[in-house]
Amino acid sequence: MNGIAKNVKKLDTAPKGGDRRMPMIMKLAMVLATASVAWNPILAAHADDPAAQTVPCCGTKASTTSGAAHSSSGSQPLPCCDAPKKSLVVDYLYLDMTTCERCQSADSSLKEALGTMSGTLDALGYAVKLNEVNIASRELAAKYRFVSSPTIHVNGIDIFNDVDEGDCTHCGTLSGGSVDCRVFMYEGKEYEQPPVAMIVDGIMRNLHKSPAKRDEPYTLPDNLEKFFSGVESSGCSSDSGCIPGTTAEPVKNARK
């Protein structure tokens, strides 16, 4: 603070000429900006984060004539704004979105979470690509190494540590039997769809991890085999939804 006070004093006693006052004003602004960064908890939390240290300094600079800034109509993008974004691929994997309220709610929570994080991810230099994938076959399950519905991958990594499941009436209706879908444990409570905060936490924890290695063989879980076999024998599909034993009566879409 003594250094800041001295600078202020110099500004007060300096001659009135603008050319001599301007350098000191700029120095004082730099001192205050440094102090602000030091005490900003968000910036401090990412101080050692390599991604945070390479944040694009996007903004504009105003064209100047004789030291005076013009209006924003003459502004130009800073060169660093052209820096390429890092890719963040988010895969939302599900069995059914026509009737399964669990999958529908998880989809809504994911989009809300990404909306909440958009400013942070943009500041960290990430471009988000969201893929919504209906796992409608064993082949797709193997391609995405699908273990339970619904699942969220970030760069190929499941953002939830554990796979817990519970009976899902809607997917059971499609397959004509009992099918378990994913349930989520967060802060000691069980949810049929992941809370927004859980998704945000999962994405941030996996943000800087390398894409998942897929050397180990994939085995289709018994629960998914039961679902696919049931759908095939019932004539239903996760695209159209139908009552088992018929092909003409669609199940009412429960999504609101």
pLDDT of res. 161: 81
First to last CA, the chain: 57
Q: Which residues of the chain have pLDDT under 70?
A: 1-83, 212, 235-256
pLDDT of res. 73: 45
pLDDT of res. 237: 57
pLDDT of res. 202: 96
C-alpha triplet 26, 31, 34: angle, nearest 5°: 120
Token pair of 83, please? 């820096």
pLDDT of res. 233: 86
Domains of the chain are: 86-234 (3.40.30.10)
How far is 38 from 139, CA to CA, in rounded Å?
52
How far is 226 from 232, CA to CA, in rounded Å?
10
Helical segments of the chain, H only: 2-13, 18-39, 41-45, 50-53, 101-123, 138-143, 169-175, 196-205, 222-234
The pTM (predicted TM-score) of the whole model is 0.63
DSSP designation for 158: E
pLDDT of res. 53: 42
pLDDT of res. 145: 94
How far is 87 from 232, CA to CA, in rounded Å?
37
pLDDT of res. 96: 93
pLDDT of res. 215: 76
Beta bridge pairs of residue 157 = 154
Is the preceding peptide bond at 150 cis, omega within 30 degrees of 0? yes
pLDDT of res. 19: 47
pLDDT of res. 209: 86
